[in-house]
């Protein structure tokens, strides 16, 4: 461990929020594309809603990322080396590889977004229609598969990016933050789909049941990962055990964001309990917990 590393001073409202929103988008897209690839007619609404959510969310993220740069106008240097204007990628840098993955994922989620717009008869723009026609020579399932692969990449590389530094908390929790962010992305993605389905009142019992089942598995997995992470970090876990970040992590992420929804999720399985409210509340709690997970891990790793 290094005694005197410096913190990057990333702002929570830019970087942690990017990790969070990118994760939700990628998680939702992954679930939507998987359902599409499985070809489940009964669950078609899940894909539709997922594609509607994924693209607008991912559109927010470049704004957050560019705003945090010291030289925002130079963001394009991430794609081209300025000395000879050739495409550039640094395979050793999760930030560099992740930027390209984000670009590819954005493209795929854009195509899927256009696809559902056409299916719903909402796409009026002739230019966009012909663009989609050009891409639709390849079956949409191919885009969905590529998109969910890079979506997972976007959800997970952010954790690998933190682990691949010399900051004590991030170094000591290596290699688990990437896994934790992936699982949280899947869980928040499922939650946002459940919430949107509810809002549109197009929800069938089976769809919610399946989303809940998946969320349950993800949350149990997330809980196990958090316990493992704290154990392997040992004394270096202290920034997330004490003070405000400790409260946010254990009270917010673990108790409110995982244990409470798990309990609601569990009790909703019993036929006597009303299904409606727990699902709604559970989804909101999961989304709240996912935000605090990113904020605490990103910010607590930067305190001196």
Partner 1 sequence: MAKGMFVDTSICTGCKACQVACKEWNELPGEPAHFHKVPDRPYQVAINFTGNSYDNTGQLSATDWRHVRFIEQFNENRTEARWYFSSDSCKHCNDAGCLNACPVKAIVRTDMGNVFVQQDVCIGCKYCIPSCPYGVISFSEQSGTVHKCTLCNDRIHNGLGTACAKACPTGSISFGEVEELKKRADARLAQLKMRGFTKANIYGYTEAGSLNVFYLFMDEPSVYGQPEHPVVPQRRLFRSAAITVLTAVAMAVAALISFREQGTKKNGEVKP
CB of 107 to partner 1, least distance (A): 19
Which uninterrupted H or E stretch holds 98? helix 94-119
CB of 114 to partner 1, least distance (A): 24
Of 13 and 133, nearer to partner 1 (C-beta) is 13
What are the distances in angstroms from CA 119 to CA 37, 83, 108, 124, 201?
A: 17, 45, 17, 12, 19
How many DSSP H helices and E strands does the chain contain?
Answer: 11, 2
For the chain, the C-alpha Rg in angstroms (whole number) is: 20
Supply the DSSP string of 229-277, one letter for each residue: HHHHHGGGGGGGTSHHHHIIIIIIIIIIIIIHHHHHHHHHHSTTS-SHH
Distance, CA of 171 to CA of 264 (rounded, Å): 35
CB of 129 to partner 1, least distance (A): 31
CB of 124 to partner 1, least distance (A): 32
Of 1 and 63, nearer to partner 1 (C-beta) is 1
Of 289 and 301, nearer to partner 1 (C-beta) is 301
Of 171 and 256, nearer to partner 1 (C-beta) is 171
CB of 191 to partner 1, least distance (A): 14
Q: Which two tokens stand for residue 175?
A: 């290699």
Of 38 and 127, nearer to partner 1 (C-beta) is 38
């Amino acid at each position: 461990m290094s005694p005197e590393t410096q913190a990057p001073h990333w702002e929570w409202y830019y970087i942690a929020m990017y990790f969070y929103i990118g994760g939700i988008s990628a998680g939702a897209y992954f679930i939507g594309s998987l359902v599409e690839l499985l070809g489940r007619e009964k669950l078609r609404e899940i894909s539709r809603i997922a594609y509607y959510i994924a693209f607008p969310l991912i559109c927010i993220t470049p704004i957050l990322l560019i705003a945090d740069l010291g030289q925002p106008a130079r963001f394009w240097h991430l794609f081209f080396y300025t000395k000879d204007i050739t495409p550039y990628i640094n395979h050793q840098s999760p930030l560099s590889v992740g930027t390209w993955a984000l670009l590819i994922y954005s493209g795929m989620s854009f195509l899927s977004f256009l696809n559902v717009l056409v299916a719903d008869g909402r796409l009026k723009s002739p230019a966009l229609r012909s663009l989609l026609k050009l891409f639709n020579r390849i079956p949409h399932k191919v885009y969905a598969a590529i998109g969910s692969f890079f979506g997972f990449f976007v959800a997970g590389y952010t954790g690998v990016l933190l682990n691949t530094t010399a900051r004590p908390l991030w170094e000591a929790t290596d290699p688990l933050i990437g896994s934790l962010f992936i699982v949280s992305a899947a869980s928040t993605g499922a939650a946002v789909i459940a919430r949107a389905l509810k809002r549109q009142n197009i929800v069938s019992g089976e769809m919610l049941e399946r989303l809940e089942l998946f969320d349950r598995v993800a949350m149990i997995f997330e809980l196990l990962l958090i316990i493992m992470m704290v154990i392997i970090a040992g004394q270096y876990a202290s920034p997330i055990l004490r003070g405000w970040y400790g409260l946010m992590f254990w009270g917010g992420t673990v108790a409110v964001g995982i244990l409470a929804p798990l309990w609601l999720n569990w009790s909703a399985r019993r036929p006597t309990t009303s299904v409606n409210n727990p699902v709604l509340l559970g989804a909101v709690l999961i989304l709240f917990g996912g935000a605090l997970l990113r904020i605490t891990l990103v910010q607590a790793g930067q305190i001196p």
